Each structure stands twice: as structure tokens, then as C-alpha cells.
């Protein structure tokens, strides 16, 4: 009886070690490997809305802002492709002569995404129209405040404001879409709810949007010396929070 028990125990132990050894040799459970998919996008001029070919595109870690070592170039018609891990957010940097390094974070697996690159000329015009002096040692963030309706369509949010940490110089736009001095616009335009946030210390930045004292949404990203980031903010709620009496 004892001998039969010992033989059975030996068989169980051998089976355990064989199974354990196979898992070690294979590098883990195959089912736990992340699914790799192809991300596609079109690099687009922020000023003209046209595709941009030949820019260097760098994949970034969404949590740290650091480069991952994965790079490519925008091809014909601005097309960009990356192999990415499904369900994991990431960032991108676009670099091209006569343009600011342009960053986008919180990207996901959406296909045919619009990726932006901002020409030096665009920032010069924005600074001139808004009465800003741009500090080349600091960074810029530009974006739009949206509310997404039940049809997943983006609607502009008017009469909203933003605040950031670290702080920067805030400008809102008029109906032309270009930023204006603060005395001309103290909140977003209801048809073009863009914001321009300049002279931010490089590093992580958090930007909130508010309607009066009520916080509507927030986004976090990174800023870099002499560069610009594109970060949209999405307002929460069951309806577009633009007030009916919003005159902007």
C-alpha cells in the first residue's frame, strides 16, 4: 500500500516539474501575450489641413512621455502605420524642418486617426494675433474643447474656460479660429472652441476645462522645450454644456 502511494506521488511530482519546466522554457502562458495590431493615421498640416509626407514619427510611452525607440516616416499622402499593443494608449511625436516638434498623447487603437504637425509659421501667426511673446525654453499646448453626442460626433463647447498645472499663458480664439488677446476673448467660441496655452514649463501638464466653477473634463499630457502638443479635452454630461445665452 505504501509503495503504491509513493509511486503515485512520484508520478504527480514528475508531471508537476515537467509542466513547470515547459512554462519556463516557453516564457509564460501564451494566452497572456498582448495582442499586436496595426495603428493607421494621416499626418496633417495644422494650418492647411493637408497631408504631410516625409516627417519623422516617433512612438512615445503614454505614461512617461519617453521615446520607445520605435520610429517611422509619414509616407505618401501623409500615411503613418505602427504596430501597437491593443488596448494600450500611446503618444506620437512628428518632426520635420520648418515645423515645431508636435506631440500627441492619449492615442488609442482608432483607425485612420488624424495626426497633426504644426509649422513655425502657424505659431508665429498665433502669437502675433494674441499678443503673446513665446518663450523658446518652454512648451505650448493647443486643442479643442468638445462634447461627444450619442452619435459619437464631436460638438464644440462654447463659453468654457481652461486652467493648467503648471500654469501658462491662456488664449482663446475668435470666429476665425485664431487666438486673440485676453481682453477680446475670456472663454471659448461656441463654433470654434479652440484654446492656445503657451509658455508652460517642460514636463507633465494637466489641463482642466470649466463652465463657471463646474469642472467639465480634464486631460494630462507632456510638454517639451520649444515644442507644441495637441490635446483635446472632452466635457462630460448628458448634453452639450454650452449655455443657451453663450454669445461667443
Look at residue 60 in the predicted model and tell me its pLDDT.
97
9-46 per-position pLDDT tens digit: 444 444 433 344 444 444 445 567 888 889 999 999 99
Closest CA to 227 of 49, 95, 80: 95
E strand or H helix at 21, and its extent?
helix 2-26
Mean pLDDT for each consecutive 10-residue tract of the chain (248 residues)? 46 41 46 84 95 98 96 96 90 97 90 92 96 97 97 96 97 94 96 97 98 96 97 96 92
C-alpha cell at 152: 459619437
CA distance 244 to 248: 11
Look at residue 199 in the predicted model and tell me its pLDDT.
98
Phi, psi of 7 (to 5 degrees): -65, -40
CA distance 235 to 157: 8
Q: Taking the domain 131-242, which CATH number applies?
A: 2.60.40.1120
C-alpha cell at 142: 493647443
Q: Taking the domain 34-119, which CATH number applies?
A: 2.60.40.1120
Closest CA to 229 of 177, 147, 164: 164
C-alpha distances (whole Å) from 128 to each of 220, 236, 248 are 27, 33, 21
Q: How does DSSP assign 101-145, residue by residue?
A: -EEEEEE-S-SSEEEEEEEHHHHHHHHHHHT----TTSEEEEEEE
- Whether the CB-CB separation of 217 and 195 falls below 8 Å is answered with no
**φ/ψ bin of 87: left (φ > 0), alpha (ψ from -120 to 50), beta (otherwise):** left
Look at residue 29 in the predicted model and tell me its pLDDT.
55
Closest CA to 230 of 180, 195, 191: 195
- The length of the chain, given as a count of residues: 248
CA distance 161 to 240: 15
CA 26-29-34 angle, 5° bins: 110
Domain residues of the chain, as ranges? Answer: 34-119, 131-242
105-136 per-position pLDDT tens digit: 999 876 788 999 999 999 999 999 999 999 99
Look at residue 247 in the predicted model and tell me its pLDDT.
84
Look at residue 87 in the predicted model and tell me its pLDDT.
87
Look at residue 150 in the predicted model and tell me its pLDDT.
95
Look at residue 89 in the predicted model and tell me its pLDDT.
93
Amino acid at each position: 500500500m505504501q509503495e503504491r502511494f509513493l509511486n503515485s506521488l512520484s508520478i504527480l511530482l514528475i508531471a508537476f516539474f515537467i509542466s513547470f519546466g515547459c512554462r519556463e522554457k516557453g516564457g509564460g502562458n501564451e494566452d497572456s501575450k498582448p495582442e499586436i495590431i496595426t495603428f493607421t493615421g494621416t499626418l496633417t498640416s495644422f494650418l492647411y489641413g493637408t497631408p504631410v509626407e516625409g516627417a519623422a514619427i516617433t512612438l512615445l510611452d503614454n505614461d512617461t512621455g519617453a521615446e520607445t525607440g520605435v520610429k517611422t516616416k509619414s509616407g505618401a499622402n501623409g500615411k503613418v502605420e505602427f504596430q501597437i499593443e491593443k488596448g494600450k494608449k500611446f503618444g506620437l511625436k512628428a518632426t520635420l524642418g520648418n515645423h515645431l516638434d508636435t506631440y500627441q498623447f492619449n492615442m488609442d487603437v482608432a483607425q485612420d486617426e488624424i495626426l497633426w504637425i504644426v509649422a513655425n509659421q502657424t505659431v508665429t501667426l498665433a502669437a502675433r494675433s494674441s499678443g503673446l511673446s513665446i518663450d523658446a525654453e518652454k512648451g505650448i499646448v493647443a486643442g479643442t474643447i468638445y462634447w461627444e453626442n450619442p452619435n459619437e460626433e464631436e460638438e464644440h463647447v462654447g463659453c468654457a474656460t481652461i486652467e493648467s498645472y503648471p500654469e501658462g499663458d491662456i488664449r482663446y480664439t475668435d470666429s476665425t479660429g485664431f487666438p486673440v488677446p485676453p481682453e477680446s476673448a475670456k472663454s471659448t467660441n461656441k463654433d470654434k472652441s479652440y484654446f492656445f496655452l503657451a509658455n508652460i514649463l517642460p514636463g507633465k501638464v494637466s489641463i482642466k476645462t470649466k463652465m463657471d466653477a463646474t469642472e467639465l473634463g480634464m486631460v494630462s499630457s507632456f510638454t517639451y522645450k520649444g515644442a507644441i502638443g495637441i490635446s483635446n479635452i472632452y466635457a462630460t454630461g448628458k448634453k452639450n454644456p454650452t449655455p443657451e445665452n453663450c454669445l461667443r
